[in-house]
């Protein structure tokens, strides 16, 4: 039996990831989180850089620890990170969150929707966990997203702005909108206020049904100002770490997860139908039949562009399959298959944290320290969601 069909097995993995990052990333001198932790041996390899996304994800992660009755230090760790996020990352003069700092000094003040979405997520989870200041951060981040990034005529968010908000980039992206949708759902769950659910539904509907009609229902990553697919974007940089060309199986699975979560709060039948379509697409064109695992990026026929295996891709697919398996046992089979692959290749046997990236044949081609924005957010989130799925008394998930 798959041990991750049990709450005990999932909580063990959840706790292992939390303990990998605590106390290593807690910085009591500079403040905030030194989130650049070597994924193999657990030491901080960069104690100076402070990244907005890492800060927000850390608050989110430790807040989940509080919600799941994890170790007592989770509350302190969440409060510690939220204080730095709300005071040092926040630019009071320009009213936005600074993207990157050297210790406490800003080095990049570009205003990214992606970063502000993660602050909204952090505030929502902190508020839900009873962390002081969580609700205030939720409201502040939401206000910036609505006033500076949301484009009513498209029902979607712009991507980035200059530090003084003088101009928006013409680039429009899938990823910022996906994480905005995630954060809005969390804000709804934390407050029970319909405005957050309505906005999350609008973004999901607009992107996963309307925008994707131009690419036969598949999720392209990069768009023009008018939300037309920019199929040539970064085509000369196929291995770009954050904005590669091609289709990403991991984001298809991640959107499937979000639509399944939305379906828990909305009655529209298309949500689960589209969630199934997106998950099926992820595994149909993304699964590597020779070596196992999901490719990072592919062409629309499933031919890999970057065949590397990323940890976040597989744990997102695990979260999606856990939610979908409540309705169809075929997804429970994928849940087991993805966990078996991940245990063999992607989870550090020494600490239980997840590796960021391996080659197609599961080798390392460098130090593999992982991106500076990833302090365990993907595995913690999806273990937590799978534990919630077990509580729902589903017809399929949790059976042998």
Domain count, the chain: 1
Report residue 348 CA to chain centroid gap. 20
pLDDT band of 23, cuts 50, 70, 90: very high
pLDDT band of 143, cuts 50, 70, 90: very high
pLDDT band of 394, cuts 50, 70, 90: very low
Residue 152 within any structural domain of the chain: yes
For residue range 303-329, what is the model confidence (pLDDT) as tens digits?
Answer: 999 999 999 999 999 999 999 999 999
Range of the domain at 325: 3-391
Q: Which helix (H) or strand (E) holds 302?
A: none
What pLDDT sits at residue 396? 43
Q: What is the mean pLDDT of residues 345-369?
A: 90
For residue range 26-53, what is the model confidence (pLDDT) as tens digits?
Answer: 999 999 999 999 999 999 999 999 999 9
What pLDDT sits at residue 133? 98
Record the tokens describing residue 2, joined without a space.
């798959």
Q: Supply the mean pLDDT for the chain.
A: 95
What pLDDT sits at residue 242? 85
Residue 154 within any structural domain of the chain: yes
What pLDDT sits at residue 368? 63
Residues β-bridged to residue 102: 49, 105
Residue 91 within any structural domain of the chain: yes
Dist. CA 90–CA 362, nearest whole Å: 40
Dist. CA 140–CA 95, nearest whole Å: 9
Q: What is the mean pLDDT of residues 202-218?
A: 98
Q: What is the mean pLDDT of residues 295-307?
A: 95
For residue range 160-171, what is the model confidence (pLDDT) as tens digits?
Answer: 999 999 999 999
Whether 89 sits among the annotated catalytic residues: the reply is no
For residue range 102-116, what is the model confidence (pLDDT) as tens digits?
Answer: 999 999 999 999 999
Q: What is the mean pLDDT of residues 368-378?
A: 83
What pLDDT sits at residue 393? 45
The upper half-sphere exposure of residue 178, i.e. CA atoms within 13 Å in the direction of its Cβ, equals 20
What pLDDT sits at residue 398? 44
Is it the case that residue 362 has pLDDT exceeding 60? yes
Record the tokens describing residue 368, joined without a space.
């593999």
Q: What is the mean pLDDT of residues 210-219?
A: 97
Report residue 311 CA to chain centroid gap. 12
CA-wise closest residue to 21 among 57, 69, 48: 57
Residue 398 within any structural domain of the chain: no
Q: Is 17 in contact with 379 (CB distance < 8 Å)? A: yes
Record the tokens describing residue 330, joined without a space.
């075929």
Is it the case that residue 88 has pLDDT exceeding 90? yes
CATH code assigned at 169: 1.50.10.10
Is it the case that residue 369 has pLDDT exceeding 80? no
Q: Is 131 in contact with 82 (CB distance < 8 Å)? A: yes
- % of the chain with per-residue pLDDT over 90: 93
Q: What is the mean pLDDT of residues 164-188?
A: 98
Residue 396 within any structural domain of the chain: no
Question: Exactly one of 60, 89, 251, 314 is catalytic; which is it?
Answer: 251
pLDDT band of 400, cuts 50, 70, 90: very low
User: Whose structure tokens read 């484009």?
Assistant: 151
Residue 231 within any structural domain of the chain: yes
Whether 251 sits among the annotated catalytic residues: the reply is yes
Q: What is the mean pLDDT of residues 281-298?
A: 98
Look at 373 and 318; give whichever has higher pLDDT.
318
State the CB neighbour count (10 A cutoff) for residue 186.
Answer: 25
Q: Is 219 in contact with 174 (CB distance < 8 Å)? A: yes
What pLDDT sits at residue 395? 42
Residue 400 within any structural domain of the chain: no
Residue 263 within any structural domain of the chain: yes
Is it the case that residue 352 has pLDDT exceeding 60? yes
């Amino acid at each position: 039996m798959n041990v991750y069909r049990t709450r005990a097995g999932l909580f063990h993995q959840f706790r292992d990831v939390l303990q990998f990052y605590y106390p290593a990333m807690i910085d009591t001198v500079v403040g905030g989180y030194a989130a650049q932790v070597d994924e193999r041996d657990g030491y901080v390899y960069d104690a100076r850089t402070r990244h907005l996304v890492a800060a927000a994800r850390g608050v989110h992660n430790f807040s989940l620890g509080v919600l799941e009755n994890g170790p007592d230090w989770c509350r302190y760790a969440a409060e510690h990170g939220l204080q730095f996020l709300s005071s040092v990352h926040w630019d009071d003069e320009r009213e936005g969150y600074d993207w990157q700092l050297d210790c406490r000094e800003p080095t990049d003040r570009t205003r990214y929707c992606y970063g502000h979405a993660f602050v909204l997520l952090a505030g929502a989870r902190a508020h839900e966990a009873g962390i002081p200041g969580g609700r205030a951060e939720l409201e502040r981040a939401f206000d910036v997203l609505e006033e500076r990034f949301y484009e009513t005529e498209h029902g979607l968010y712009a991507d980035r702005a200059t530090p003084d908000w003088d101009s928006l980039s013409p680039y429009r992206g899938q990823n910022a909108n996906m994480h905005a949708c995630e954060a809005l759902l969390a804000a709804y769950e934390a407050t029970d206020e319909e405005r957050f659910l309505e906005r999350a539904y609008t973004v999901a509907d607009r992107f996963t049904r309307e925008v994707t009609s131009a690419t036969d229902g598949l999720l392209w990553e990069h768009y023009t100002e008018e939300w037309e697919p920019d199929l040539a974007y970064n085509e000369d940089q196929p291995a770009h770490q954050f904005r590669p060309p091609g289709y990403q199986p991991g984001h298809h699975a991640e959107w499937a997860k979000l639509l399944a979560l939305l379906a828990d709060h909305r009655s529209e039948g298309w949500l689960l139908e589209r969630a199934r379509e997106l998950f099926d697409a992820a595994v149909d064109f993304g699964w590597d039949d020779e070596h196992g695992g999901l490719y990072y990026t592919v062409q629309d026929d499933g031919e890999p562009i970057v065949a590397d295996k990323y940890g976040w891709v597989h744990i997102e697919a695990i979260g999606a399959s856990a939610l979908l398996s409540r309705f169809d046992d075929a997804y429970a089979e994928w849940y087991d298959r993805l966990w078996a692959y991940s245990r063999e290749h992607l989870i550090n046997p020494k600490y239980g944290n997840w590796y960021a990236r391996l080659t197609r044949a599961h080798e390392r081609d460098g130090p593999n320290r992982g991106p500076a924005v990833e302090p365990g957010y993907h595995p913690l989130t999806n273990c937590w969601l799978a534990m919630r799925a077990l509580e729902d008394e589903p017809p399929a998930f949790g059976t042998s």
